[in-house]
Structure 1
Amino acid sequence: MKPRLVFASAVAAGIAVAAGVAHRLRSVPDWPEPPGDVTTVRGESLHHLSSAEGAGPTVVFESALSCPCTEWAWVIRELDGHLPYLAYDRPGNGWSSAHNPPRTAAEHAELLHDLLVARGLPGPYVLVGHSVGGLLVRVFADRYPGDVAGLVLVDSSHPDQLERSALQREGMPLVQQSIWTTYWRSRLGLPRPDDGFGALSDLPEELVDPSMRVMRRPEPWKAAGREFADWYTRWNDETRATTLGPELPVAVVTAGAQSSMDGAHARMQEELAQLTTVGHHDVVVGAQHDALVMRPEPAARITRAVDWVVRRHHATARQFSGRKG
């Protein structure tokens, strides 16, 4: 998620600290009640929204940078009761702890795999990744190829985007500055009650307040800063080294507003749809990067992409069964 850009001058920050940091630390919002469940894996308390109902394959969601797993609520509503699913908060994000968080994409894949096993959600998995989550699901698919039924890449990051897109490259320092500014404002209790974060206000009504409140805490922004550095120094290289099976279904859903502003982004999204011989590309005209997931109308296109991957998976499974027979 591209965080709202908030700036404080050095003088104002100094005055705030001198005026009483201890008082402001006490004003950090309390943790809101988690809307899902929490499972301990490798010493981390991982928050997740999950269901084992449905015939499978299991749909697994990787969120964007700093986004809580509630960002997937509209897609999950359509899947609920039909397909098993799991959307989770990576360590430090949302309601999850961060005692010893993974740093490499491979370590994230291993932690996620252990969580799926702990929840009794067997493969095969349809992996759905938004933004940097798209890099992580590609690494998971490379690490556990026998467990993966297909991918849905939602306005996904491309490992070469900083080299090929001047717009994104020039904007990265501002995004990094915004993350840490928001962290310190949260740490000092400075955000106003009406501060918004991306399109979270467009989530289902019962999830807006807890999602907003958790994003007013400093922990998700600290995690975002850590993941931003890992994305830049580790995840891109790890993703470049991945290999996907040539017949693995890959559906790409692109935010039209982003691709219309940045031709390089549009071309890289097309490339993602050609990672295998079984690709599908849907450009959602006018959709923004965050709203693509968090507003019901564009999110329905993600659900359709999941359905497409599931159908292709079942068709392949029937063909394989027929050849064996």
Structure 2
Amino acid sequence: MKRTPEAKSVSLRKVADVVSGKKVTLALHATRAAVSVGMLLPGKSRWRGAGSLFLSGTNCLLQARHRYGTDGSDQVANLVQSVTGVARLAKKPETQDALLWYIGIQATMSYAISGWVKLVGDKWRDGTALPGVMRTRTYGSEPVYRLTQRYPKTSKAVQHTTLAMECLFPLVYAAGGRFTRPFLAAAGSFHVANGFIMGLGRFMTAFPAMHPMVAYTTGPKDHPAVTGRDDRAAKAAALLLAGGIAASAVVAAQRRAVVLEGWPTSRKVVTRHGNELMYETGGPESDAPVLVFCAGLASTSEHFAWITEWFAHGSDHAVVSYARAGYAGSRRGSKAPYELAESVDDLEDLVRAVVPENRKVVLVGHSLGGELIRRVAERMPERLAGLVYLDPSHPAELQRSDRQRAGAKDLRVTLTHVARYVQLGTGVLMSRPGWVDRLPPAYREKVFAQYTDARLWTAGKREWLAVEKEFTEFTGAIGPLTTPALIIAAQQTVDQDPEQFLLYNELARVHQSQGERGAVEVIEGADHDSMLTEARYAHHAARLMAEFLAAECQHDGADTVAAHEGGAER
């Protein structure tokens, strides 16, 4: 619990330690119960304001131990208690009105945003959401589920009515408040039904606690109950909303510029499909093979930063990293429907254009990038010194792995939703993932700019639809490859999905057809992403790659000597 976000502050942890003792906790709960009873008694004194603040404050104190406050009902209860407590203690009516407007706006947002988010999902539109929820063990109800199956049209009508109520809830502020009672009645009935059917009893009391504020702020100004109401808070909220939208547009434009600009050393190459690929090179000039890195789905070339830096500054190998069409500063010029073969063509064109013909190439692919480099290896084995797969995709994984198959649909939905939301300018609201700050410092801001830009998610969605189609239709086995290979797997990947480890070994055997030149190594503790983004795991992978390259160089040297001796004998 001390690792939770709210416990980062040392002072807050000290307070939590004090209130987490058994006697103190029991005393706080007993006092809360007494104050709650007092709040139910008649009266309008300022003591009620103090009681509301006490309840919300102690709830926050106890959250570190009891974890209350993480559900919507707890958040709403805290919001209402805190704001109404301050409003009761405020002396100026203008301050009270501003606080009541705040809750009214929050209530409207809670319904409207929830409705529009549901509307994006297929299940709420096609009417399968309610039966699906009723089948769950946590929130389900067998009698209600049977009713949804017996009367599917009624079930669908109930879902669409709920959607309409939530999406259109802001209309309570239209028509002089004439829509207030119907909407509040519908919302209240919704919470009562959820309380009895789904067991969400606290929702039944928490959300309707905001309804009086909605009624107060939507009433016409000539109504006796709202005479003299100060509405400046609503105007200020509208102004802040407009300012927020404008600011998000500016931030999105700035981040898009950073994404498209690339690095000072970035270069571009145009492929046979008219796609313009941005790439970077680095490392010493030598005869050692050049490492070309191919990133995974909805990923960035900078994900390889720990490994590329390790090779560029600590080995004889030069490195090339690039962004596929649609990612970063790479642009997709092709008008044809996307297929994985397009990215395979692009990678082949990049290698032939960027790496001199007298230099051997080692292709390094992570996740989907692993499948792409395998397909390239089938086309140009004469140019390759080796392949390095980092937790690679396998064309049979959706058929043989239950875990991969179960996650396929969720991934498609996630990519679709995120791409759509970010296109609307919500990238400014995205929190900074922890893995971004585990990359080398010089790469973090550019990676975060890509992560919050719609281009990455749109390209990821386009690629995943092609992957899902081709992997689902895959039949047969992968053909043998003469190029030596190293497969590096993350321990958490193979632990959570043993079938994936079997697929990795099958891939290794594909490369062993010409001798024992394929291997699988596992990085302990790493997961699919941290094997690249965390320095300790990435450096471990780099060392395994270096050992593999050194062994292959010796192997090639032995082959060269044997060929020379054979020629001399002849």
TM-score band w.r.t. shorter chain? 0.7 to 0.9
1:274 aligns with 2:503: no
Q: Does 1:243 align with 2:480?
A: yes
Provide the rounded CA distance (Å) in 1 between the counterparts of 2:403 and 2:538.
Answer: 26
Q: Residue in 2 aligned with 1:11?
A: 116
Q: Does 1:45 align with 2:284?
A: no
The question of 1:137 aligning with 2:369 is answered no
Q: Does 1:314 align with 2:553?
A: yes
Question: Per the alignment, do residues 311 and 180 of structure 1 end up closer, same or farther by CA in structure 2, a change over 3 Å counting?
Answer: same
Structure of greater Rg: 2
Structure with more of its chain in helix, by fraction = 2
Structure 1 stretches of at least 4 aligned residues deviating more than 6 Å after TM superposition? none
Matched to 2:510, the amino acid is L
Aligned-partner SS, 1:274:
helix
1:1-325 correspondence runs (5 A): 9-12=114-117, 28-30=252-254, 31-32=257-258, 33-35=261-263, 36-42=265-271, 43-51=274-282, 53=284, 54-81=286-313, 82-100=316-334, 103-122=338-357, 123-193=359-429, 195-197=431-433, 199-234=435-470, 237=474, 240-245=477-482, 248-277=483-512, 278-325=517-564
Displacement of 1:155 in angstroms is 0.7
Kindly provide the CA deviation profile for residues 284-309 of structure 1, in whole angstroms up to 9, marking residues without a partner as x.
12211111111111111221232133
Question: Identity over aligned residues, as a percent?
Answer: 23
d(CA) in 2 for partners of 1:168, 1:198: 24
> In structure 2, how many angstroms separate the alpha carbons of the residues matched to 1:305 and 1:162?
28
Q: Which amino acid aligns with 1:299?
A: A
Task: Supply the AA of the counterpart residue of 2:329.
Answer: W
- Secondary structure of the residue aligned to 1:151 is strand
The aligned amino acid for 1:275 is V
Read off the aligned partner of 1:109 and give its amino acid letter.
V
Tell me how far apart the structure 1 counterparts of residues 383 and 289 of structure 2 sit (CA, whole Å). 10
Alpha-carbon contact 1:105-1:235 (below 8 Å) kept: no
Cα distance in 1 for partners of 2:506, 2:306 equals 27
Secondary structure (helix, strand or coil) at the match of 2:267 reads strand
Query: Contact 1:250–1:275 (CA<8 Å) still a contact in 2?
Result: no
Q: For residue 321 of structure 1, what is the amino acid of its counterpart?
A: T
CA offset digits 1:140-160 (Å, max 9, x no partner)? 100111111111111111111
Cα separation, 1, equivalents of 2:335 and 2:471: 15
Q: Check whether the contact 2:408–2:468 (CA below 8 A) recurs between aligned residues.
A: no
What's the secondary structure of 1:76's corresponding residue?
helix
CA distance in 1 between partners of 2:413 and 2:525 (Å): 27
CA 1:116 to 1:276, structure 2 compared with 1: closer, same or farther past 3 Å?
closer
- Indicate the larger mover: 119-128 or 206-215: 119-128
TM-score (normalizing by structure 2): 0.51
SS in 1 for 2:480: coil
Distance 1:235 1:179 in 2: 18
> For 1:273, what is the secondary structure of its paired residue?
helix
Structure 1 residues 280 and 308 mapped into 2: Cα distance closer, same or farther (>3 Å)?
farther
Q: Which has the higher contact order (CA 8 A, sep 6+)?
A: 1
Alpha-carbon distance between aligned partners in 2 of 1:284 and 1:120, rounded to the nearest angstrom: 30
User: In structure 1, the residue corresponding to 2:288 is in which secondary structure?
Assistant: coil
Aligned residues of 1:131 and 1:156 also touching (Cα < 8 A): yes
AA at the equivalent of 2:348: H
Q: Indicate how the Cα distance of structure 1 residues 280 and 198 shifts in structure 2: closer, same or farther if over 3 A, else same.
A: farther
Change in Cα spacing, 1:79 to 1:179, as seen in structure 2 (3 Å) is same
Question: Which deviates further from its counterpart, 117-126 or 64-73?
Answer: 117-126
CA drift at 1:199: 2.2
* Structure 2 unaligned regions, length at least 5: 1-112, 121-166, 169-240, 565-570
Tell me the CA shift for residue 41 of structure 1. 1.0
Amino acid across the alignment from 2:387: L
Deviation string, structure 1 residues 72-119 (Cα, Å, up to 9, x no partner):
100011111520111110000122112227834443233223223333
In 2, are the aligned partners of 1:255 and 1:284 still within 8 Å (CA)?
A: yes
Call closer, same or farther: CA 1:198–1:222 in 2, change over 3 Å.
farther
- Deviation of residue 313 (structure 1)? 2.6
Whole-angstrom CA distance in 2 between matches of 1:211 and 1:318: 40
Distance 1:98 1:25 in 2: 24
Q: 1:125 to 1:133 in 2, by over 3 A?
A: same
Structure 1 residues 194 and 222, CA gap change in structure 2 (3 angstroms): closer
Q: CA deviation at 1:162?
A: 1.1
Count how many residue pairs are aligned between Structure 1 and Structure 2: 313
